[in-house]
Each structure stands twice: as C-alpha cells, then as structure tokens.
Amino acid sequence: MPTATTQTNHVLLEVKNLSKSFRGLMAVQNYHVRLVEGEILGIIGPNGAGKSTVFNLFTGHLRPTDGSIEFRNIDITNAPPEEIASLGIGRTFQNIRLFGSMSCLGNVIAALQMKERQNLLEAVLNLSRFREQEKRLESQALALLALFNLQEQVNAPALSLSYGDQRRLEIVRALALNPRLLLLDEPTAGMNPHESAEVIRLIKRIHDDYTLTIIIIEHNMPLVMKVCSRIQVLNYGEIIAEGTPEKVRNDPRVIESYLGRAG
C-alpha cells in the first residue's frame, strides 16, 4: 500500500478502543496502541491480564466485542486469520503450536511457501520450475533454521524437539512468513536464563536485520526492559501504565499490581 507510509508517518498498527468480553468477563477493555514501524513494544502484566487475548484479537483468532484494528491503514477488525497473515502479521503462541509430525524443515517451508504460488500440474509433473522452487524454499528454510541454531534438527519431527527448541522453531516459522509485524507471546517461557538471553539476543538481531516491528509479551521483566523501547502494563484487561522501561518500572500502580506481587 503506497499510501500507508506517506500519509501516516509510518504508523503500522493503529488499535483503538479494543474490548473483548467472554460471557461478561471483560478480558480486554479499551485497549489502544499506535505502533510505529521498527518499534519493539513490550506487553507485561499478571496472569489473566488479557495479554494473549490482545494478540488473538490482532490476528483474527478472536473477534473483538468493540473497537477497531488498522494494520497498514487497512481495517482488519473482523478479518479472518488467513487474511491477516497474508497482510504481514506473523505470530507465535503461548502454548506452542507447531506442526508436530512434520520435520523442522517442513514447518518452516510451510510458512515460506505462502509467498510463492505453486501449480498443481507442475508439482505433479515435477517440472523443473517446481523443483527449483522446492530447492529454493529448502535452502531459505535451512538458512533461517541455522540462524536460530536449529541446523542439527532440521529433519527431526517438531514434536521430538526440546521445549526451548520448539519455541525457537516457532519463532523461525513466524519469521519465515517475512512479516511486517511479529507478535511473540512469551518467547522465553520455560527456558533457562542462558537460553532466554540467547533468544532475546536473536530477537534483537532479527529486528535489526529484517527491519521488523515486534510486540513481545513477556513475564521476565529484566529481559523486556532490555529489548523494548516502550512497555504497556495490562491488569484486568486495561492498560494501567505505559512508557519507557524506566517510567514503567517506577510507576506505583505497576509496582503494586505486578512487580510487587512478583517479588
């Protein structure tokens, strides 16, 4: 969309007044965000605060009760997940969702192939264009897997990977979509401090290399503070604080509702 960048000063995502209720339970209330291209936003908050629900609303896996979502100046408020993915939002899931029986390579190629069109007849006849396409997809997938240190496991079924490797594979798969906006839901959950630091380093790196815009949901405060230029704190579905890591860290309401409880 050529107009997207010129008119609105590189605003990639504009969310207004977003709300979601589950049978009366307000999981998200009046959520809003304006995301500028290249930003890394952190979303933190206690369990059940509505963080994952926000992601599910962004990607069309849930329909909002109220509010609007614009991505690249296109209204995606009620769009289905497939359409939102093709517009350029990639994501990972808090409870990892890989294609378990497929190899790591297969998982990544399944995402990479979405930007290529294959013709059934060419595939069946195994024509050279098809074979070249497959080869290209494979080498691109291998490069991405190597970036996340998964080169040893390329042919292993996704389900056989360790927990940390599964999380990283899911990031690679989302990255393989070549998205404009990447949503990471607790990318370091269940990892040891060493692994977490490594993943955060990689997230920073892909942010720089691919000029990505990223939103991270994360419980690990020091890590969020390290990568994010801006942080939103959610509690009971509402934004209770927002700003730079310094500002958020010293906000009395954040300390009371979240940091205090976390110890």
Is the distance from CB of 104 to CB of 173 less than 8 angstroms? no
Report the SS3 class of residue 177.
Answer: coil
CB of 253 to another protein, least distance (A): 33
State how far the Cα of 253 lies from the Cα of 143, in Å rounded to an integer: 44
Q: Is 64 in the site for ligand ATP (CB under 6 A)?
A: no
Q: Is 94 in the site for Mg ion (CB under 5 A)?
A: yes
Nearest to another protein of 130, 236 (CB atom)? 130
Nearest to Mg ion of 50, 179 (CB atom)? 50
Candidate list 7, 22, 151, 208; residue touching ligand ATP; CB under 6 A: 22
- In the chain, where does DSSP find H-type helix? 2-8, 51-58, 81-87, 104-112, 120-125, 128-147, 163-176, 193-209, 221-227, 245-249, 252-254, 260-262
Q: Is 51 in the site for ligand ATP (CB under 6 A)?
A: yes
Q: Is 30 in the site for Mg ion (CB under 5 A)?
A: no
Please state at what angle helix 104-112 crosses helix 128-147, rounded to 10 degrees. Answer: 120
Total interface residues for Mg ion by CB under 5 A: 3
Give me 27's structure tokens.
């999981």
Nearest to ligand ATP of 102, 189 (CB atom)? 189
State the residues that interact with another protein by CB under 8 A: 59, 61, 80-83, 85-86, 90-91, 93, 97-103, 105-107, 109-111, 113-114, 116, 118, 120, 123-126, 130-131, 134, 155, 173, 177
Other Cβ atoms closer than 10 A to 24:
5
Contacting residues toward Mg ion, per CB under 5 A: 51-52, 94
